[in-house]
Amino acid sequence: MIEDIQADELYQLKTNNNHVLVDVRSPKEYQEATIPGSVNIPIFSDQERAVVGTIYKQKGPEAAKEKGLEIFSKKLPDFIREFKKIDVQATVFCWRGGMRSKTAATVLGLMGIEVQRLSGGIRAYREWTVERLNQFEMKPELFVLNGYTGSGKTILLDRLKAKGYPVINLEKLAGHRGSIFGHIGRNPVNQRSFDFALLEKLLEVQQERFVFIEGESKRIGKVVIPDWFDQKKENSKQIFVHLPVEERVRNILDDYQPWLNPEQFKEAFHIIKKRLPTNISKELGEYLDAHDFTKTVELLLTYYYDSLYDYSTNYPESQKTAFTASNVEEAEEQLVKWVSDRYGSR
């Protein structure tokens, strides 16, 4: 008999290192969004899934089931072999907890491999996630890192995390830096994947006294952060990091490495060029064509990003703390001392 478990039960099992989640959907579905930490052992390849889907539309469910069985029966030895490599308890799931996960669990059971099945599939887990996110009451205080573009905010988050401080890197969860150029060299995720990852991070840091995040807009690339989280961010302590322009340019070039994707940078530039003075827009285009990315970044900071940032960071003085440093390393030292003075050393 197949044992079905609910989404909340699955999350509890996920926190146990002796448990594996197996997504039996096609590789493309898995790549689009899956439950964090899952492995993919698909019943059908992308092409096979398309074939079965076409038959379903043209001839109906019975014909689709027959074709699916024909395809899957040939793959059974490999499918079983992959599951035998798993030496801990496993839960299988598909999109709606339907035929694919039921078939997988049934076949595995017949071979003496007992697995559980997620009731309602990834769709049910998504509904549970959204409900938890909407009702979430975050206990820790937020420390929000702000600064002009290139001030090393993401670098600081990584360094703080390495020192053991609690951090939520929203840009990393979104696969996007939050700017018009932010997708370049990254893999932006959809809202489902972001929500899954965000809830896990929130639950992970819930017992901390404080958490560092970066000052982000409500929308980061393709995704949107929850209203309550955005409001908490706006009402929290705002930490401003000030670095010299030349250091900011260096940080941007190290992060974006525009020479690796010059055409994508040109495409992104064309989206904002109408917002710039005509002469500056022309000059920027020339620097991009010449692959002079240092000059390109300097002009973008001066005539676009810095003015946008000034407009979007109007907070009461009582809410702000500022650090001026010559580089990220110095800013990190100041920030760690500031936190230690408030909460003690980590």
* Contact present, 220 and 170 (Cβ < 8 Å): yes
Beta strands (DSSP E) in the chain are 3-5, 19-23, 39-40, 89-93, 116-118, 141-146, 210-214, 219-220, 223-224, 237-242, 320-324
Q: How many Å apart are CA 78 and CA 84, to the nearest integer?
A: 10
**Closest of 122, 102, 100, 112 to residue 21, by C-alpha:** 122
Which of 94, 160, 284, 288 does the annotation list as catalytic?
A: 94
Burial of 86 from C-beta contacts in 10 A (0-12 / 13-18 / 19+): middle
Residue labelled with tokens 């290139």? 150
- Burial call 196-219: b when 16+ CB within 10 Å, e when fewer: bbbbbbbeebeeeebbbbbbbeee
SS3 146: strand
**Residue 151 backbone dihedrals phi, psi, to 5 degrees:** -80, 5
State the Cα torsion 7-8-9-12 to the nearest 10°.
120
* Contact present, 82 and 57 (Cβ < 8 Å): no
Q: How many Å apart are CA 186 and CA 174, to the nearest integer?
A: 9
**Residue 90 backbone dihedrals phi, psi, to 5 degrees:** -130, 150
DSSP code per residue over 14-68? HTSTTEEEEE-S-HHHHHH---TT-EE--SS-HHHHHHHHHHHHHH-HHHHHHHH
Find the helix packing angle between 61-84 and 46-59, rounded to 10°: 160
Q: Residue 94 catalytic? A: yes
Active site amino acids: 94
